[in-house]
Amino acid sequence: MTDPVMIPYEAYREYPAEEMLSRCTSFYEEMKRRRTVRDFSSRAVDTEVIRQCLRTAGTSVSGANMQPWKFVVVQDDRIKTEIRVAAEQEERLFYAEKAPKEWLDALAPLGTDPSKPFLETAPFLIAIFQERFGVLPDGTKVKHYYATESVGIATGLLIAALHHAGLASLTHTPSPMGFLNRILGRPRTERPFLLLVVGYPAENARVPDIGKKALEQIATFV
């Protein structure tokens, strides 16, 4: 066991109480404008913006700081097409055979179907993988604690960072997603977590008329 190395938390910033409230209000105002988009423009996005948003994702909290995430950024048109073909194959099965009626009913307000043109239209697909375990420099394996929770939180930060930058995203989860390992050449030790579609919304993009629960419905103060 190694002793922890502790340093002063110099990066911390406290704000006056009023500023605290205005900061969290403006952050909420910004975040509530975020919508999941399915109509993407093919307009190019600066790769440096994606890199910077991924740095934000990499600041995420994680179990024992194991950082069990891997982001594979896809820009290549041929790879996007391969992903679309494989995803639509799974989606056709999902909608026609696998999904129980209850699930299809739950999806009805979103207007989704097996056709996934955005997988080719959007400038970036970010395939997010969860590492089942870590490997130390000497080759020994280390367990990843709370890996799914950790990758989920990092993905949330990524979605927020992309939105903050003025980009739209879609969390796409074709199931199963094993084809991502094959197409992207990732080892079996990495489990596909989700596929994030990123770009500008199409000019005529429309989103479902759905809302979020009120604070009273999601939080209880005791």
Work out how close the CB of 210 gets to ligand IYR at its nearest, in angstroms, rounded to a whole number: 11
- Smaller CB separation from ligand IYR, 13 or 101: 101
Work out how close the CB of 95 gets to ligand IYR at its nearest, in angstroms, rounded to a whole number: 7
- Smaller CB separation from ligand IYR, 44 or 110: 110
d(CA 166, CA 78): 26
What is the DSSP track for 70-138? Answer: EEEEE--HHHHHHHHHHHHHHHHHIIIIIS-HHHHHHHGGGT--S--THHHHSSEEEEEEEESEEE-TT
**Is residue 115 involved in binding ligand IYR (CB under 6 A)?**
no
What is the DSSP track for 166-186? Answer: T-EEEEE--SS-THHHHHHT-
- Smaller CB separation from ligand IYR, 95 or 146: 95
**Is residue 107 involved in binding ligand IYR (CB under 6 A)?**
yes
Tokens found for residue 222: 């005791």
Q: For ligand IYR, which residue has the nearest CB?
A: 112
Q: Which residue of 54, 62, 67, 91 would you call a contact of ligand IYR, by CB under 6 A?
A: 91
d(CA 72, CA 81): 16
Positive or negative CA dihedral for 15, 20, 24, 26? negative
- Smaller CB separation from ligand IYR, 116 or 144: 116
Judged by CB under 6 A, the chain residues 56 through 85 that form the site for ligand IYR are none
d(CA 144, CA 128): 16
Work out how close the CB of 12 gets to ligand IYR at its nearest, in angstroms, rounded to a whole number: 37
- Count interface residues toward ligand IYR (CB under 6 A): 8
**Is residue 173 involved in binding ligand IYR (CB under 6 A)?**
yes
Q: Which of 84, 81, 111 is nearest to 95 (CA)?
A: 111
Work out how close the CB of 89 gets to ligand IYR at its nearest, in angstroms, rounded to a whole number: 12
- Smaller CB separation from ligand IYR, 62 or 169: 169
d(CA 189, CA 129): 9
Work out how close the CB of 39 gets to ligand IYR at its nearest, in angstroms, rounded to a whole number: 14
- Smaller CB separation from ligand IYR, 176 or 187: 176
d(CA 154, CA 149): 9
Positions that interact with ligand IYR (CB under 6 A): 91, 94, 107, 110, 112, 172-174
